Chain A
C-alpha cells in the first residue's frame, strides 16, 4: 500500500499510505484497507496535512491500544487502554539493531515493569496473547513471535501456553544462553560484552566504497517506467533518479507570491519526543517556561519590520496547503531573517489530551505540509520535503484559537 515494492530504493517510511488507501485500484492494488490494528501511535498529522489522513481513515475499522485518547483514536471504533512503559515488560523487537554501544562494551537491555498498572489496565502484548487464545490461533501467533530470534530449545511450542513474561524469558534465553533468562536480567539489568577493536574503529576494516556516481539509479528508473507501462499505472516523477546527486529547488524555493515571504521549518528540542510528551505535565511545564517550544520563532529584526513583538498572536498560512495555524511570536536572534521555526509535537486538539490540547500549546507543523506524488517529495527515498513558504498576519489579542 505504501508503494515501496514499486519504488524499491525508498528507505523512508512511506508517506503515501493515506493517498493510495483512498484509491488503491488506481495503483492496481487488488485489496482495500478495511481494518487497522494499532497501538502507541498518533499518525493523524504525523507526516503531512492531517486532512489527507482523515480522509484515508474515515471508513477504516480501527482498533487501538492507547494510554491516552489522541487524534488517532478519534478515528478508532474500539479503543483498549494500554499500560504505560513503566507498567509494561517487553523486549526490544529489533535485534541486533538495538544492541547499544557503551564505551568499550556492547549492551542489550530488558524493559522491566517497575510499577503495577493503574486502573486495571493491561499492556497490549498481554491482551493480544489472550485474544490469540480466544480466537484459537495460538499456533500462528507463536510462529509469528518465533520470528523475533527465538531459537531451540526455547522456541514457542503451540502445545504449551505461555504468559507474556515466560515468552520474554524464552526470547532472552534464545539470544544469550539458558542462564540469561528474565530473572537474570531482573537482577543484573543489562547484559554486556566487549567490543572488538574493529567494531569500535570499524572504518579501516571495511572494504566498501561510497559511490558518488550512482548509475544504477538510471536502471531503477527504467525498470519502474517499464512496470508503469506494462501495468497501466499512473506516471510518477522519475526525474529524481539521476546518477549524479544534484540540488533541485523544492516547491518553497519556487514560490513567487510576495506575501508568502517566510520559509517555515520544523525544529525540536531534546526534552520532547515527537508527539508523545506534550501531555506529560512536567514536560508541558517546561515547554511553557522555554521561550521557543510553544511559540513561533522568528528573527527579531524581521518581526520588527512586520510590526510584531514577543507574545503577539499571529495566523500563519501555508502557501502549499492553504491551511492556517495560530500561535504566538517569539522573537529571536538565533534564526535567519527569512525563516520561521515551529517546534514539533505541539498543536494537539484531541479532548483525551487535556494538558496538550489547550490553546497556545504549540502548533502542528504538518498542517502546513502538502503531500502529492509529483512534488514535495524525493521519489528516490520517499522523504518528504519539510520546508514550506508561509505568510503571517497579526491577530487581535482576543482572537480565539
Chain B
C-alpha cells in the first residue's frame, strides 16, 4: 500500500480551509503549517489567472530528507509509504529541512503562543488532542497518522474539510482507486518531478 493524495487545482478556490483544518487537528504553533497554500498570479492584465497551490509534505517514495537524516529519526514506512519523524530520535539539526525541495518541514526553536501565556489556544485542554508543537525537533504533515483519524477510518483533516472537494486520498498502489483514475484521466503531475523524489501527492491541472 502507498498512501497518496490528489489535489485538483481546477477545483481549489484558495479558501485556506485545508490550512485551517490542519491547525485545528494538530494545534501547530504560529508560523508552522503542515498544510499551507500559496497564491500566485499568472499572465498580464487583462488576461490573468490566480493560481492557488496547496502544499504539504509530499510523502516522497525517494525522500531526500530521509537520506540526510543523521540519526534515522526520519524514515519512510514500508507498509504505507508515509514519511514519519520519531521526535525522540530527532536531534534538531534541520538537515532534512535543507534537503526537502518542497519546504514542507518546520522547526520550532522555542514555544510560541497565539495568545501569549495561554498556550496555542486556551480551550485545548477540553479536547483529547494535544498540541503537536514540540520544541527542538522537526515536524511536518504525516497524512494525520499521528491522530486517531486513521483508526476511525477517516480521511486526513485537509481532505475531509475541503469545501470544493478538491482533495482525494487513497492508495496509489490500487490501480482501481479514484486517485489512479484521476491521475491517468487528467494528466496528474508531481511537483519537482525532475528531482526523482517521486512524491505521493499529485496535482491535477487547473484547465
Residues of A within 8 A of B (CB): 115-116, 118, 269-271, 281-283, 285-286, 289-292, 299-301, 332-337
Contacts and interface: CB of A to CB of B under 8 A. Distances in A.
B84 interface: no
Contact of B114 (A281, A299, A301): A281
B16 A281 contact: no
B189 to A, nearest CB: 24
Contacts of A332: 41
Nearest to B40: A291
A333 B39 CA distance: 13
Contact of B126 (A115, A282, A292, A335): A115
B36, B46, B122: residue with the most chain A Cβ atoms closer than 10 Å = B46
19 contacts: A115-B126, A118-B122, A118-B123, A270-B13, A271-B16, A281-B30, A281-B114, A282-B20, A282-B23, A286-B16, A289-B36, A290-B39, A291-B39, A333-B44, A333-B48, A334-B48, A335-B45, A336-B46, A337-B45
A371 B20 CA distance: 38
A118 B123 CA distance: 8
Interface of A, secondary structure class, is loop
Interface in B40-59: 41, 43-46, 48, 50
Interface string B14-38: 1111011001000000110000111
Contacts of A271: 15-17, 20
Interface in B95-128: 114-115, 122-123, 126
A281 B123 contact: no
A299 B20 contact: no
Given A115-B123, A118-B123, A333 B16 contact: no
Contacts of B123: 115, 118
A291 B45 CA distance: 17
Contacts of A116: 126
Contacts of B50: 334
Contacts of B20: 271, 282-283, 286
Contacts of B13: 270
Interface in B122-151: 122-123, 126
Interface residues of B, number: 26
Given A333-B44, A334-B41, A334-B45, 6 more contacts: A269-B14, A281-B115, A286-B16, A286-B20, A290-B39, A333-B43
Nearest to B45: A333
Contacts of B36: 289
A286 B19 contact: yes
Nearest to B114: A281
Contact of A270 (B15, B43, B45): B15
Nearest to B121: A281
A190 to B, nearest CB: 17
B30, B45, B50: residue with the most chain A Cβ atoms closer than 10 Å = B45
What 8 pairs between A and B have smallest CB-CB spacing? A281-B114, A333-B48, A333-B45, A270-B15, A286-B16, A271-B16, A334-B48, A333-B41
A118 B43 CA distance: 49
A91 B145 CA distance: 37
A332 B41 CA distance: 8
Contacts of A336: 45-46
A336 B44 CA distance: 11
Nearest to A87: B123
A263 B172 CA distance: 51
A116 B14 CA distance: 33
Contacts of B44: 333
B16 to A, nearest CB: 5
A283 B45 CA distance: 29
B180 to A, nearest CB: 28
A335 B14 CA distance: 18
Nearest to A84: B123
A98 B4 CA distance: 39
A299 B45 contact: yes
Nearest to B122: A118
Nearest to B43: A333
Nearest to A290: B39
A352 to B, nearest CB: 13
Nearest to A284: B114
A46 B44 CA distance: 34
Nearest to A86: B123
A300 B44 CA distance: 9
A297 B23 CA distance: 28
Nearest to B15: A270
A105 B23 CA distance: 32
A282 B36 CA distance: 12
A294 to B, nearest CB: 14
A25 to B, nearest CB: 48
Given A118-B123, A334-B48, A285 B30 contact: yes
Contacts of A301: 45
A171 to B, nearest CB: 28
